Amino acid sequence: MAALRGRDFTGIRDLDVGELLELLRLAAELKARSRAGDRPPLLSGKTLALVFEKPSLRTRVTFEAAMLQLGGHAVYLGAQDIQMGSRESPPDVARTLERAVDGIAVRTFAQETVQALAEHARIPVLNALSDWEHPCQALAALLTIQERLGRLTGVRLAWVGDGNNVLRSFLLGMTRLGISIAIATPPRYGIDPETLRAAREDAASAGAAVEVTDDPAQAVAGADLIYTDAWASMGQEAEAAARRQAFARFQVNAALLARAPRTALVSHCLPAHRGEEITGEVLDGPRSVAFDEAENRLHVQKALLAQIL
């Protein structure tokens, strides 16, 4: 889609509904072609810088593989390679990289770092994760829902656990496509009011709804997909013990699945802490699509890169 060429992707709302749907269409096409042994060199000669201040398995591998499969190349720059904020400022990093590569994917803590790179770089900047949003995970979840359920509009997603960056991207992206989201979080660990307000407005416009409860069983009733994530994200390690206590009854386990429809699927953005937010029995069970979604990170990012770079 020519309209995306050269644009930043700092959050899920950088794409309108039509652009989201076209990206999912292209991702499905590229996935099918890849499985048939056809990998078009759409990014031949292109280079993507991976500026990662947080460790990664899926994000690094899928971005590097995406560039390779489309004929391009990725350059990985870890936290110690740049020491952004101490050795070099984000604006200086942006101005340096724009002269050597065609795009920047940044995995960082503060959303302000993503915004600073986007503001000062003349090349596209993609949010590969920040503490505020994880838009690529939302794209992968959407592709997985579309594949497994055959639709987006009318789907009901139950979120059980922490009101974190993944949930924020889900709320700001999925509701615009007619997906209803029921959120079950402990008191004090919910999503921020502004995100909730915006998501409810989007949901109402799309014929969907956003519900909030502190009862996981209530959230999963009628769910098509049950979603969870780690109780303590990177940077919250000091809170881990307190969070385990607060989230104890928010585990996605066989007992909770019994309160949901038999057809309900389960996913997790990974890495999973087995025995905490989800049991191994559920994560490895027949209703889990977590690893399908992890694969789909590759395909949605290929589509995103092909359209933007």
- Encode 69-117 in three state secondary structure: HCCCEEEEECHHHHCECCCECHHHHHHHHCCCCCEEEEECCCHHHHHHH
Domain with 153, as residue range(s), is: 137-291
Q: What is the pLDDT of residue 225?
A: 98
Residues 86 and 162 in one domain: no
Residues 169 and 267 in one domain: yes
The CATH number of residue 68's host domain is 3.40.50.1370
Residues 84 and 149 in one domain: no
Looking at per-residue pLDDT, the higher value among 5 and 85 belongs to: 5
Interval 261-290: pLDDT, tens: 999 999 999 999 999 999 999 999 999 999
44 touches 54 (CB < 8 A): no
Just list the catalytic residues: 107, 134, 137, 229, 269, 297
Mean pLDDT to the nearest integer, 233-259: 89
Q: Both tokens of residue 235?
A: 């940077």
Residue 309 clears pLDDT 70, i.e. is over it: yes
Q: How far apart are CA 123 and CA 48, in angstroms?
A: 10
Q: Which of 115, 132, 139, 152 is nearest to 194 (CA)?
A: 132
Q: What is the pLDDT of residue 233?
A: 75
Residues 41 and 164 in one domain: no
Residues 152 and 280 in one domain: yes
Mean pLDDT to the nearest integer, 179-208: 97
Rg (CA), the chain: 19
Residues 277 and 150 in one domain: yes
Residues 52 and 128 in one domain: yes
Residues 81 and 208 in one domain: no
Number of domains in the chain: 2
Residues 219 and 299 in one domain: no
Q: What is the mean pLDDT of the chain?
A: 96
Residues 108 and 244 in one domain: no
Q: What is the pLDDT of residue 234?
A: 67
Q: What is the pLDDT of residue 85?
A: 78
Q: What is the pLDDT of residue 1?
A: 57
Mean pLDDT to the nearest integer, 30-35: 98
50 touches 73 (CB < 8 A): no
- pLDDT level of residue 237 (50, 70, 90 thresholds): confident
Q: How far apart are CA 137 and CA 227, in angstroms?
A: 12
> What's the whole-model pTM score?
0.97
Residues 214 and 255 in one domain: yes
- Of all residues in the chain, the percent with pLDDT exceeding 70 is 99
- pLDDT level of residue 83 (50, 70, 90 thresholds): confident
Longest CA span, the chain: 55
Residues 6+ apart with CB under 8 A from 50: 60, 63, 64, 74, 75, 76, 77, 105, 107, 128
Residues 141 and 285 in one domain: yes
